[in-house]
Amino acid sequence: MATVLNKNKDFFEQVYQVVRLIPSGRVTSYGAIANYLSAKSAARMVGWAMNASHKLDDVPAHRVVNRVGILTGKLHFETPHKMAALLILEGLLIQNNQVINFNKHFWDPTIELSLG
């Protein structure tokens, strides 16, 4: 089963569904989500979608960082330190706005959701 998601929904909703599947203590990148949804494109759209996810409380946007593991979206949270704080509570190490051992905690939807 390659698609646990409802592709009939809007692009934004597709992004939300993937983000909701990210386990606690794990992180992924905008590009990874974009790659899983519409094949290697619109990484920016994922970020744009997250911007509209504020109204939703089920979308752990703090688990989505850029390809290097930097919390680029922290400034869009309620408070700048909110994003890092949430990740730290989940057992991650944040230093200099960046996730330590990012590759170790990286959660790739293309892998995690296709092999399942």
Chain positions contacting DNA, by CB under 7 A:
10-12, 29-32, 38, 41-48, 50-54, 61-62, 64, 66-68, 72-73, 76-77, 83
CB of 44 to DNA, least distance (A): 4
Residue 23 DSSP one-character state: P
| CB of 3 vs DNA, minimal distance in Å | 18
**In angstroms, what CA-CA distances link 69 with 1, 15, 29, 93?**
29, 19, 8, 11
C-beta closer to DNA: residue 41 or 114: 41
Q: Which is nearer to DNA, 20 or 77 (CB)?
A: 77
Give DSSP secondary structure letters for 62-98.
Answer: GGEE-TTSB-TTGGGSSSTTHHHHHHHHTT--EETTE
Helix, strand and coil in the chain, % to nearest 5: 45, 10, 45
Minimum CB–partner distance for residue 2 and DNA (Å):
20
What is the identity of the amino acid at 19?
Answer: V
Cβ closest to DNA, residue 31 vs residue 113: 31
Minimum Å distance from CB 17 to DNA? 15
